[in-house]
Amino acid sequence: MQEIIETQAVMTCSVEETRDWYAWNNLMPPKPDDFHVVGEVKVNDTRIVPMLFPKEPQGINPEILMLQLVLIQQPSVGLPVVTWVQARYDKVLLNSTYKQVWIFCEDEQIADIPVEDIY
């Protein structure tokens, strides 16, 4: 019997639209503090999942977090339907907070988000 193994595929980031980006430093007790970014990405297939990863190199300003948007095609059954899907990034803050987030698709900056401090 032949076994078929399906894997995830990283797709070229050709995002047409994004919306509703929001970033915040959660500084409410108890410690540790944490950081979050959420937004929506328009995709043309229900199997596509947008994900955010730290961009390399990160840059020289520690108050600006640079994130790379990556589209992952899941190996499940899906529909070729245009839909909005949430992208999210979460991180525990150690010694500092962010003031700004830049989102990139390939080498193009697609969002510039101010960061809100939540006490």
Give tens-digit pLDDT for 21-48.
Answer: 999 999 999 999 999 999 999 999 999 9
The reported pTM is 0.88
pLDDT at 2 over 50: no
Quote the percentage of the chain above a pLDDT of 70. Answer: 92
Q: Count CB neighbours of 41 within 10 A.
A: 25
If 0-12 CB within 10 Å is exposed, 13-18 middle and 19+ buried, where does residue 65 land?
buried
Give tens-digit pLDDT for 48-96.
Answer: 999 999 999 999 999 999 999 999 998 877 888 999 999 999 999 988 8
Closest to 108 (Cα-Cα) out of 10, 9, 15, 45: 15
How much is the mean pLDDT over the chain? 90
